[in-house]
Amino acid sequence: MKIAIVILNWNGKHLLEKFLPSIVKYSDFDFAQIYVADNASADDSVVFVKQAYPQIKIIQNSINGGFAKGYNDALQHVDADIYALVNSDIEVTEGWLNRVVSIFDTEPNTAIIQPKILDYKNKNKFEYAGAAGGFIDKFGYPFCRGRIFSELETDQNQFNDEAEIFWASGACFFIRSAVYHELKGFDEDYFAHQEEIDLCWRAKNLSKTIKYVGSSTVYHVGGATLKEANPTKTFLNFRNSLFSLVKNLPENRLIPIILARLVLDGFAGIKFLAELKPLHCLAIVKAHFSFYRYFSKMLKKRKKSAKTADYYTIKSIVWQYFVLGKKEYKELL
């Protein structure tokens, strides 16, 4: 089984210098080939990789098409059974591939896997982007085992298990190449953020299994490309979540859930105003107008696969967190 570890890079020489060493050290070149897919960087990232790591293959994309298009373009040039899509700000650990490869080898219906993702800056904490595997509530708001909204749990081995999840984090994302291409890859209209949730949902619509593997650990800096406080991230997260709902909700739930979600987003905007974050409130408004512009296009995309009825386990994570004060995943059960 051939694995391609593909690192998408954009002006990230400083990140490659810091994090490539662990990937090279802990990835067996007998079955895992490392690639750097460069999104038309203006710095000397490519020169650095060529000089420092001649064993790494380089794919040079012609434009910066963001996360979604960047990977879609790059993976056309990669021959492997499994794609390991790894952020440039990820530090891996010894044995990070072992159990993942074993599961792909013995569980043919498992299509996507995520490792345990801890915070590089505080290594006993789970990291925001994926933690111990993701889910969404009835209204499409994402949360994770180990992370609910901005609340991050301490890693106390509570998620050293293997579990079926709804979505895997794009920060470190293993997928069978055949499934990736059957699904036509990431939706490029997302540009960045939450495209992995959509891809996982579409895989679920094909009755594929998505798993979390707690024995594989990586550390993620998070926000190295786009900081959490950046309103652009708010815009992309709110808009792209709506995209995923339109594309993937069961038919009888489409209109009620979308309408409810738009109202809930309005409350989120009010909350941002109360926190003196007007640019984030404006980002939600812009996200909704962009969603309206793309609405008919997303409706056409939803016709391409059957819709999974049981897409959520928690009715409202907003209610659980903000009203009932539940901060840890175990409290939701």
Helical packing angle, 231-248 and 278-302, nearest 10°: 30
| In a domain? residue 303 | yes
Place of tokens 């739930």: 253
Is there a single domain that holds both residue 168 and residue 244? no
Specify if 140 maps to a domain: yes
pLDDT greater than 90 at residue 309:
no
74, 59 contact by CB (below 8 A): yes
* 225 falls within a domain: no
- Quick: pLDDT tens for 161-217: 999 999 999 999 999 999 999 999 999 999 989 999 999 999 999 999 999 999 999
CB 236, CB 283: distance < 8 Å? no
Q: Is residue 43 part of a domain?
A: yes
Q: Is 251 exposed, middle or buried (0-12, 13-18, 19+ CB in 10 A)?
A: exposed
Q: Does 153 map to a domain?
A: yes
189 contact partners, CB below 8 Å, separation of at least 6: 68, 243, 294, 297, 298
pLDDT of residue 99: 97
Is residue 202 helix, strand or coil?
A: helix
Check whether residue 92 and residue 212 sit in a common domain: yes
Q: Is residue 88 part of a domain?
A: yes
Nearest-angstrom CA–CA distance, 114 and 95: 14
- Within 13 Å of residue 318, how many CA atoms lie on the same side as its CB? 13
Domains of the chain: total:
2
- Asked whether residue 33 falls in the same domain as residue 65, the answer is yes
Residues 18, 99 within the same domain: yes
Q: Read off the tokens for 226.
A: 């786009």
Q: Is 154 among the domain residues?
A: yes
185 residue type, one letter: G
Same domain, 213 and 240: no
Residues of the chain by 3-state class (helix, strand, coil), percent to 5: 40, 25, 35
CA-based radius of gyration for the chain: 19
Which among 182, 198, 220 is the end of a domain?
A: 220
> Which of 220, 253, 283 is where one domain is finished?
220
Confidence band of 223 (pLDDT split at 50, 70, 90): low
Same domain, 200 and 320: no
One-character DSSP codes across 78-103: ---SEEEEEETTEEE-TTTTHHHHHH
| Structure tokens that stand for 75 in this block | 């993976």
> Quick one: pLDDT band at residue 331, thresholds 50, 70, 90?
very high
Token pair 């950046």 in the structure block, residue: 230
Residue 226 domain flag? no
Last residue of one domain, picked from the residues 165, 199, 220: 220
Token representation of residue 120:
């590089």
Residue numbers of the domain that contains 254: 231-332
Q: Which of 267, 229, 243, 145 is nearest to 194 (CA)?
A: 243
pTM for this entry: 0.94
Cα distance between residue 333 and residue 320, in whole Å: 11
- What angle separates helix 45-52 from helix 13-25, to the nearest 10 degrees? 30
What pLDDT, on the 0 to 100 scale, is given for residue 62? 94
Q: Residue with structure tokens 């074993």?
A: 102
Find the CATH number of the domain harbouring 120: 3.90.550.10
- For 270, the token pair is 């009010």
pLDDT of 263 strictly over 70: yes
57/84 same-domain check:
yes
What b/e string do you get for 102-139 counting C-beta neighbours within 10 Å, with b at 16 or more?
Answer: ebbeeeeebbbbbbbbbbbeeeebbbbbbbbbbbbbbb
Give the pLDDT confidence of 249-262 residue by residue, as tens digits: 998 889 999 999 99
Looking at the fold, whether 154 and 19 belong to one and the same domain comes out as yes
Residues 212 and 297 in one domain: no
The answer to whether residues 81 and 27 belong to one domain is yes
Residues 56 and 184 in one domain: yes
Based on the fold, state whether residues 160 and 286 are members of the same structural domain.
no
